[in-house]
């Protein structure tokens, strides 16, 4: 931990407070421009690789792992969950347009009737409940994690397409943005300290990914059986800076996911991928 603290101090970067009430699109464009300026060697499509985009060696290693992913069996378990009918005979596919193909890029969205952000995972649980099944725990990687690891592959190749329209949606987006730029934890870092201001730099032994592109490839497998959803990753980052993270599926994390995913708009989705 001492090493981590020293590394953090070494980064020395301070996240500036975000400009008040810019539009989501101007937020996204400003970040894209900032990264373009810092990383002229990266093409827009490279951002989906996160930190790997800065290391040809790590990227080559990633690509060889992805030729025969060690987690195919896990995704297969997710496929079985997706295809196994509920007690009433229906399946998840019945809850989505197009049988669940090319839909995940629209999540999260803001539901005006519910007055809150709906994530893809919430939609899977809403589907379960509508069909008389108990919802899965959002932090439960053996159920929700594996189900999602397959369900999202049905949207591979889709581009992230998040909309922020109306006052409720704008307020949720702003809450997520505030969380991202606010310092947390005993080490007093914001998400932006690492994934905006220090993107492309090395923290201890790890290269830091830019926030743009981070939402395109979830869940990830960090080893054959270690599936990690996006909100679990948020929690992991917060624990590293000694913050007590909100729970996966909480409104705080859902709002953060809404803002965070918006920043990946237009980038191609691909699930599930390997990450160290």
By C-beta, is 158 or 267 nearer to ligand HEC?
267
Nearest approach in angstroms of CB 12 to ligand HEC is 12
By C-beta, is 169 or 191 nearer to ligand HEC?
191
Which of 47, 58, 56, 39 has the alpha carbon at shortest distance from 209?
47
Q: What is the dihedral of CA 236, 151, 212, 234, to 10 degrees?
A: -10
Q: How far apart are CA 182 and CA 151, in angstroms?
A: 32
By C-beta, is 119 or 209 nearer to ligand HEC?
209
- The answer to the question of residue 35 lying near ligand HEC (CB under 6 A) is no
How many residues in total does the chain contain? 276
Q: How far apart are CA 53 and CA 39, in angstroms?
A: 10
Q: How far apart are CA 110 and CA 119, in angstroms?
A: 9
Nearest approach in angstroms of CB 99 to ligand HEC is 28
Going residue by residue from 39 to 68, which x/- string records binding to ligand HEC, judged by CB under 6 A? -----------xx-----------------
Nearest approach in angstroms of CB 209 to ligand HEC is 3
Which of 274, 269, 275 has the alpha carbon at shortest distance from 103?
269
Q: Which of 8, 81, 144, 162 binds ligand HEC (CB under 6 A)?
A: 8
Please report, as residue ranges, which positions from 183 to 202 form the binding site for ligand HEC (by CB under 6 A). 189, 191, 193-195
Encoded tokens for 24: 């989501």
Q: Which of 36, 112, 206, 251 binds ligand HEC (CB under 6 A)?
A: 206
Stretch that binds ligand HEC, among 58-66, 90-98, 133-141, 203-211 (CB under 6 A): 203-211
Scan for tokens 């889709």, then name that residue: 158
Q: What is the dihedral of CA 146, 164, 22, 268, to 10 degrees?
A: 50
Scan for tokens 């987006």, then name that residue: 173
Nearest approach in angstroms of CB 180 to ligand HEC is 6
Which of 160, 272, 150, 264 has the alpha carbon at shortest distance from 220?
272
- The answer to the question of residue 203 lying near ligand HEC (CB under 6 A) is yes
Q: List contacts with ligand HEC (CB under 6 A).
A: 8, 50-51, 189, 191, 193-195, 203, 206, 208-209, 214, 220, 233-234, 237-238, 240-241, 260, 275
């Amino acid at each position: 931990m001492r090493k981590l603290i020293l590394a953090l101090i070494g980064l020395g970067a301070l996240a500036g407070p975000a400009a008040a009430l810019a539009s989501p699109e101007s937020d996204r464009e400003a970040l894209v421009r900032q990264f373009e300026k810092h990383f002229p060697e990266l093409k827009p499509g490279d951002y989906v690789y996160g930190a790997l985009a800065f290391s040809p060696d790590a990227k080559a290693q990633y690509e060889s792992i992805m030729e025969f992913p060690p987690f195919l069996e896990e995704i297969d378990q997710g496929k079985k969950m997706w295809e196994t009918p509920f007690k009433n005979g229906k399946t998840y596919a019945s809850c989505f347009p197009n049988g669940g193909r090319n839909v995940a890029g629209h999540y999260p969205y803001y539901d005006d009737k519910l007055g809150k952000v709906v994530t893809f995972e919430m939609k899977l649980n809403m589907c379960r409940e509508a069909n008389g099944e108990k919802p899965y725990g959002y932090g439960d990687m053996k159920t929700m994690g594996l189900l999602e690891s397959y369900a999202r592959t049905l949207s591979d190749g889709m581009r992230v397409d998040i909309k922020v329209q109306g006052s409720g949606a704008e307020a949720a987006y702003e809450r997520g943005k505030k969380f991202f730029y606010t310092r947390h934890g005993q080490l007093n870092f914001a998400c932006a300290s690492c994934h905006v201001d220090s993107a492309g730099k090395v923290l201890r032994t790890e290269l830091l990914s830019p926030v743009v592109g981070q939402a395109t490839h979830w869940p990830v497998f960090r080893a054959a059986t270690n599936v990690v959803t996006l909100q679990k990753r948020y929690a992991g980052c917060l624990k590293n800076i000694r913050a007590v993270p909100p729970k996966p599926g909480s409104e705080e994390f859902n709002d953060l996911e809404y803002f965070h995913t918006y920043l990946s708009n237009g980038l191609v989705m691909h699930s599930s991928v390997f990450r160290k």
